[in-house]
Amino acid sequence: MNTKDEVLMISKKNPLNGKINIPAAKNACLPIICASVLLDGKTVLRDVPKIVDIKELLAILKDIGANITHRKNGTLTIDSSGIKSGHVLNDSARKIRSSIFLLSPLLSRFGEVSLPLPGGCSIGKRPIDFHVEILKKMGAVVTVTDRRVGAASPCSPGSHSDATPTTIELPFASVGATINAITLAAKSLGKTTIKNCAKEPEIEDVADFLNKAGAKILGAGTDTIMVNGVDKLNGITYSPIKDRIVAGTYLIAGAMADGSVQTVGVPKTHLEPLLTLLEDLGCEVKPHNNIITIERTKPLTAKNISISTAPFPGFPTDLQAQTVALLSISSGTSTISENLFEARFKYVPELRKMGAKIELQENKAIITGVKKLTPTSVVAEDLRGGASLVLAALTTSGITIIRDIHHIDRGYYKIEEELNKLGTSIKRVKV
């Protein structure tokens, strides 16, 4: 799918009303798809969205020999028995960050792995040094050049560490590094303890997936994870958790464009800091099981709002841009500090073109709410920044055109169709 020549035309303001069924989480599906390489037999995953990041990862797996079907209803079947080596040549691996999740599963299965280096990306440098240190600590010999990362285990495939217990202490609670540590330890000999782990729900989900397949992983979702290596993992059918960032984006849409929006599939525990903010701004938020309803009944008012992005359970960096769009139309002055990625304010000049008042001071945005934003032509610079422009456009009267929407398609499947179900009028147009 090439969406490079498509734009979104958002043409009028409507109150939004209705319900959105949230698909499986991109950040759970991507590592689980990579971990499926460790399973004997087929992996079947339910409700996997056909977003660009997942399509590109599947293309890499197909390229190295996996047999894959991805049905219209989201059911994804992966048979990785045809993969014969851990060498990935496909250049797409350089484009998507998540190819790094193949590092441990391929090393574990084949005793060696070689991947194009996932380069820096539009939100920052995104180094892989934590991943490299984990592999070394587990006994692998790792080589990194300016284009590729390779690792080899001195032991036989599937048993690259010896049976002595290994303890890994992560220098920072990195999501990706925690996942690579778990997936490498899952079939390694002996016991691995991983300290200072990231606690994101997606990490628990990867562990649940592997445990269902026969792994012995304890403590996922806390800062210490213990893994007792097993010899074999079996093919399974699994439903990954739903996407808290997509749900958060649509809840913010409900707050910004009036009306009542319901997201189905994500529990409140996955979105606590955002829901607190929405209430502080004056919205009514009603969570019930996995359904969250937001209603905006009065003007948005920001009093003493100061947010800092942080690893889970802190405020998610992946909702930072959408939140800045929300605060742009909330009366009062707010601040939001970005602590995870150094280049995550690229969308700010685009929001300014729409009339937002945002000052940047190093990693902090200072937002002074305006009464209304104005429609214009803007460019999506990255995935979440692109989503923030869609949200801003929903509040304007007139036509907003958003270019480079391929960034948005990386994480939202047909965002215009989902929002149109709620009453907006958004068209995807070829230019």
Among all residues, which ones are annotated catalytic? 121
Nearer to ligand UD1, 305 or 340 (CB): 340
Give the nearest distance from C-beta 263 to ligand UD1 in angstroms: 19
| Interatomic CA distance for residues 43 and 24, integer angstroms | 15
- 318 binds ligand UD1, rule: CB under 6 A: yes
Among 16, 24, 29, 30, which residue sits at the site for ligand UD1 (rule: CB under 6 A)?
30
Is it true that the peptide bond before 313 is cis, omega within 30 degrees of 0? yes
* CA separation for the pair 182, 62 (Å, rounded): 24
User: Any idea what DSSP says for residue 289?
Assistant: T
Instruction: Write the interaction track for ligand UD1 spanning residues 362-381; mark x where CB under 6 A is met and - where it is not.
Output: --------------------
Task: Out of 22, 149, 177, 426, point to the residue binding ligand UD1 (CB under 6 A).
Answer: 177
CB of 172 to ligand UD1, least distance (A): 5
Closest distance of CB 411 from ligand UD1, Å: 8
Q: Do the beta carbons of residue 388 and residue 322 sit within 8 Å? A: yes
What residues from 71 to 100 belong to the interface with ligand UD1 (CB under 6 A)? 97-98
Partners of 152 in the β-ladder: 112, 141
Residue selected from 20, 140, 175, 351 as contacting ligand UD1 according to rule CB under 6 A: 175
Query: Which tokens belong to 188?
Result: 């390694």
User: Which one of residues 80, 104, 166, 174 is an interface residue with ligand UD1 (CB under 6 A)?
Assistant: 174
End-to-end CA gap in the chain: 15
Rounded to a whole number of angstroms, the minimum distance from the CB of residue 265 to ligand UD1 is 18
Angstrom distance (rounded) from CA 414 to CA 5: 15
CB of 175 to ligand UD1, least distance (A): 4
* H or E element in which residue 321 lies: helix 320-328
Q: Of 134 and 257, which has the nearer Cβ to ligand UD1?
A: 134
Q: How far apart are CA 252 and CA 9, in angstroms?
A: 20
Report the residue number, 127 or 154, with the smaller CB distance to ligand UD1: 127
State in angstroms the smallest separation of the CB of 179 from ligand UD1.
Answer: 7
Q: Using DSSP, state whether 263 is helix, strand or coil.
A: strand
CA dihedral 157, 160, 162, 165 (to 10 degrees): -130
Q: Which is nearer to ligand UD1, 28 or 253 (CB)?
A: 28
Min dist CB 242 to ligand UD1, Å, is: 15
Binding of ligand UD1 at residue 345 (CB under 6 A)? no
Within 112-171, the residues that bind ligand UD1 by CB under 6 A are 124, 126-131
b (16+ CB within 10 A) / e for 385-412? bbbbbbbbbbbbeeebbbbbbbbbbbbb
What x/- string results for residues 278 through 317 when contact with ligand UD1 is judged by CB under 6 A?
---------------------------------------x
Residue closer to ligand UD1 by CB (options 245, 367) is 245
Cα–Cα distance between 190 and 182 in angstroms, integer?
13
Residue nearest to ligand UD1 (CB): 176
- The beta-strand segments (E) located in 119-258 are 141-144, 148-152, 166-169, 191-195, 216-218, 224-228, 237-238
# residues contacting ligand UD1 (CB under 6 A): 21
Q: For residue 84, what are the contacts with CB-CB under 8 A and spacing of at least 6?
A: 64, 65
Dist CA 394 CA 420 (whole Å):
11
Applying the rule CB under 6 A, the residues between 384 and 423 that interact with ligand UD1 are none
- CB of 30 or CB of 168, closer to ligand UD1: 30
Nearer residue to ligand UD1 within complex by CB, 126 or 137 = 126
Interface residues toward ligand UD1, by CB under 6 A: 27, 30, 97-98, 124, 126-131, 172, 174-177, 198, 317-318, 340-341
